Amino acid sequence: MDIFNGLMLGFSTATTLSNFSYCFFGVFLGTAVGVLPGLGPIATISMLLPFTFGLPVDTALIMLAGIFYGSQYGGSTTAILMNLPGEASSVVTTLDGHEMAKQGKAGRALAAAAIGSFFAGTVGTVFIAVAAPLLAGLALTFGPAEYFSLIVLGLVTSMVLTSGSLLTAFGMALLGMTFGMVGTDVNSGFARYTFGSANLLDGLDFVVIATGVFGLGDVLANLQNEHARAASVAPVSRLYPTREDWRRMTAPILRGTGVGVVLGILPGAGVLLASFSAYALEKKISRRPEDFGKGAIEGVAAPEAANNAAAQTCFIPMLTLGLPGTATMALMIGALVVQGVQPGPEMLTQQPALFWGLVVSMWIGNLLLLLLNLPLVGMWAKLISVPYRYLFPMICVFTAIGVYSINNNVFDVYLMALFGLLGFFFRKVGAEPAPLILALILGPMAEEYLRRTLLISHGDATVFFTSPVSLGILVVTALLLMSILSPHFRKVREEGLQEVD
Amino acid sequence: MKATQDVALGVFFTAIGIVAGVIALTYPIGTPSRMGPGFFPVIISVLLTLTGIAALSRARRAGSPLVEAITWRPVIIVPLMVVVFGLTIDRLGLPLAVLLLVVGTAAASVKLDISWRAAAGAAAFSAICALLFVKVLGLPIPLAGSWLPFSG
């Protein structure tokens, strides 16, 4: 199917009343959780996942995707008005965005962020439509060895790009793989790590783990220092950029979009890296680098464009290879698998309406977000001031009901409570849980592809280095690992990936 | 050794790695060309154990930040109330179990709001949840559980 027919099909899928409504609901909810500090898209998506099982698969995916990219818009509002990242990837926006707000230019900063995001979202969506079918065609030629190497690359990237030490991230990924092995082995029918419990035969449901670690774990962590949350919301004035603003932000938006599109595709990279890189790039090539951190509109427009572009293009590895690049994408894969759709290169030909419907809905969603965020910014500003003490009991309720409704089994609720405590422990010891969630999905895939590869090669592991594609991927992985040992990159990583709430 | 972040994580990784490894050794390992159910778990748990030991030795060598003091109140109350929710959902039904969870977890905050408005809000929220999840989304959860006299 060529792009034109694909987009037409997507348009007719995305504009049905129910899909359009759920897309609106998704981006609306996404903006809300992006605005609210202490509630992120990963926790929200895992909480809502069980409720989407009853929806048609395209509708479910459209809504969940809307929550994810919608939160990128919402996060910038909190960053600018309150100097708090409402969502992790908007940390950079606080630097110049809140400075602008202090100078009475909050409206112009919000406009720059929203316009940059919209432009980047549009480009990102078009890029998916063009690149995904090409990549899927390429992926069809991949065998198990290539897939195994890709999984290794994805895991290594996610380890290199999380805050904290590489060793810790490596341990978290291995822990995720261990959790992923619980349950019946698909090949031998052998029960592993079930301790005789029938509840564990189907394995640890990753929704239960994600909801526990991110949803409940965040609640426990946020309740540790409740007094530190006093902050005031800056007033919003004139919402339209001046002619001078337009002149200054056009090029940064274009560059930020480019950075975001490219970094989004990298498995394991995520949106945070995109916004940091875009900011660093702007500061480097600016003629007035001393303005950055003092309210430069370039420092708002570029990272916001970059994170939204990456939020769109990080769907590419998931849609074309069936491999999640980030924890959020791991959840999306889970949503598809539960519905009986196996993401991968065949999905484009077997489920064209699903793929193209999602792509078109993303563009519609971005348009809705522009309308939702600019004129309605006053409403969102009010939402920021909802105290956390009212919010967190509701989060607990949604996590509990959501997890219970997966199988109508209270065992899952107890398991979630346990993983909530574990998630809290991880935060206390400075271990980022993202590699764990990613490995939970990628671990069983890695085992299966390793088994198939070795079966075909009669136990000869050198096949990973004799297949050119596999070798190429492993070389990239090795380069990535070596780069982290170089002192220069190490410094950049430490600055760029500081612990964020 | 002080209770630093690396020590806590190192002990945790090592313990899980050793337990998982010992259990995995009882599974059929197989050969590389025909991996048994124990093959992959053994590799992963050995790596996990080594990672844990490396974290411990790094803690000895370089030290790492201390684990900050923990405010125990929410850490105990919130998971406990979630377990209570699991125990009561079938017996009390959704609205009452939700009310219990909301009020119980709210008590985990040092800024607990004890007022008529907050109580009314919690009650209204429970009612809305019951409507939304049972009536609109059609989840098979009872509105009144087996402990209540008027359950069906």
Choose among B13, B65, B101: nearest Cβ to A397: B101
Is A386 in the B-facing interface, judged by CB distances under 8 Å?
no
Q: Do B79 and A418 touch (CB under 8 A)?
A: yes
Instruction: Give the tens place of pLDDT for each residue, A114-126.
Output: 999 999 999 999 9
Selected residue of B4, B6, B13, B60 to mutate for chain A interface (largest A Cβ count, 10 A): B13
- Torsion (CA) A357, A74, A88, A258 in degrees, nearest 10: 60
Sign of dihedral through CA atoms A16, A17, A18, A21?
A: positive
Q: Which of residues 202-231 of A touch B (CB under 8 A)?
A: 216, 219-220, 223-227
Instruction: Give the tens place of pLDDT for each residue, B21-53.
Output: 999 999 999 998 999 999 999 999 999 999 999
CA B146 to chain A, closest CA, distance in angstroms equals 15
Amino acid A487: pLDDT:
64
Q: Say yes or no to pLDDT of A165 above 60.
A: yes
CA B117 to chain A, closest CA, distance in angstroms equals 12
Query: What's the mean pLDDT in A160-185?
Result: 90
Cβ contacts of A188 on chain B, cutoff 8 Å: 28, 36-37
pLDDT band at A499 (very low <50, low <70, confident <90, very high): very low
pLDDT band at A226 (very low <50, low <70, confident <90, very high): confident
pLDDT > 70 fraction of chain A, expressed in percent and rounded? 94
Amino acid A490: pLDDT:
65
DSSP string, A335-360: HHHHTT---STTHHHHSHHHHHHHHH
Q: Do B102 and A418 touch (CB under 8 A)?
A: no
A246 contacts: CB under 8 Å, gap ≥ 6: none
**What is the ipTM score, two decimals?**
0.93
Cα–Cα distance between A361 and A329 in angstroms, integer? 17
Instruction: Give the tens place of pLDDT for each residue, A324-374.
Output: 888 889 889 988 988 888 888 888 888 899 999 999 999 999 999 999 888
Instruction: Give the tens place of pLDDT for each residue, A275-295.
Output: 888 988 888 888 888 888 888
Cβ contacts of B73 on chain A, cutoff 8 Å: 223
Amino acid A491: pLDDT:
65
Amino acid at A323: L
Q: Say yes or no to pLDDT of A153 above 50.
A: yes
CA A372 to chain B, closest CA, distance in angstroms equals 24
Helix and strand tally (H, E) in chain A?
Answer: 24, 2
Is A419 in the B-facing interface, judged by CB distances under 8 Å?
no
Q: Do A188 and B28 touch (CB under 8 A)?
A: yes
pLDDT band at B136 (very low <50, low <70, confident <90, very high): confident
Is A465 in the B-facing interface, judged by CB distances under 8 Å?
no
Cβ contacts of A399 on chain B, cutoff 8 Å: 82
Instruction: Give the tens place of pLDDT for each residue, A447-498.
Output: 999 999 999 999 888 999 999 999 999 999 998 888 777 666 666 666 655 5
Instruction: Give the tens place of pLDDT for each residue, A373-432.
Output: 888 888 888 888 788 888 899 999 999 998 998 888 999 999 999 999 999 999 999 898
- The beta strand positions in A283-403, using DSSP E, are none
Amino acid B24: pLDDT:
95
CA B1 to chain A, closest CA, distance in angstroms equals 15
pLDDT band at B150 (very low <50, low <70, confident <90, very high): low
Choose among A185, A413, A420: nearest Cβ to B86: A413
Count of alpha carbons within 13 Å of B136, Cβ hemisphere only? Answer: 8
Cα–Cα distance between A419 and A415 in angstroms, integer? 6
